[in-house]
Amino acid sequence: MSRVAYVNGRYLPHGRARVHIDDRAHNFADGVYEVILAVDGRMVDEEGHMVRLARSLRELDMPAPMSDRALRHIMHQTIARNRVKDGMVYLQVNRGTAPRNHVYDDGLTPTVVCTARSVALPRDADAAPGVKVVTRPDNRWERVDIKTVSLLPNALAKTAAAREGAYEAWLVDDGGFVTECSSSNAWIVDRDGRVVTRPLGVDILPGVTRDRVIALARKNGIAVVERPFSVGEALNAREAFLTSTTSFVKPVTQIDDTTIGNGHPGATTRALLSAYLDFTRRASVADAA
């Protein structure tokens, strides 16, 4: 079946979807986006993503292109028109189109693009394989808490990781502490069995899946500590993992050349993945009721 994309009020075949050459996202990366998991055709943590989208727009002095209700309708329609059962929906909002100029005018009509595609969801937490990550310097701009389309340093880091046979790049600040990954949040399980992840701030993206995993951990009696951790601490951790909309809870069993734990996904990571998968299924059933 041909994929369908939404662009500025029209649903078009994916191959015919276009934005203007002078769109400010093309010239200045002047846009924001969200990626939302779909399970059984319904969005997961929809509210959290819409709250984050609104914050990104505010931080970039960008007006909302339409009401939340209208944006949600577009995403639901895009999922349905692409017959996505399990997958993801991508929504991008750009400031708009104008002759190239660093100074932007107020009153531009925002560009809205939405696509959706199927993704295979993990079914068995115990069967989830571990992945390798590599560490790279964090050379991104200082407001990575805003989910903008300005992702060149992320893309370079993740491509470098892939060329080394790794799934992700863990980004490291000048002090030797892990900030996050190129497209996900980074976690370890310390020697006391506590889940550790960097606290929210301008140096990491406020991941919606991150928030959900923290809530699920606490609900299941797993202690969560939000603090920076160094690369050295990560190399000696009991477990490590990463989270994102499309990575779910992904066990990390190797960092650079060091095997983490016994080289297999740990019990805490598997428990959190199981809890997250159960949540996504329950959320889908609840939405359908």
Catalytic choice (147, 158, 219, 250): 147
CA–CA dist 243, 131 (Å, integer): 12
Element (H, E) at 57: helix 46-59
Residue 217 DSSP class: H
Please give the distance of CA 147 from its chain centroid, rounded to a whole number.
Answer: 9
Maximum Cα–Cα distance across the chain: 57
132 is catalytic: no
Q: Which residue has the tokens 């990491």?
A: 204
Q: What are the C-alpha distances in Å from 66 to residues 70, 85, 89?
A: 6, 26, 18
CA–CA dist 51, 54 (Å, integer): 5
| 42 CB-near residues (< 8 Å, 6+ apart) | 283, 284, 287, 288
Neighbours of 126 (CB within 10 A): 9
CA–CA dist 197, 228 (Å, integer): 7
Length of the chain: 289
CB 271 within 8 A of CB 175: no
What residues are labeled active site? 147
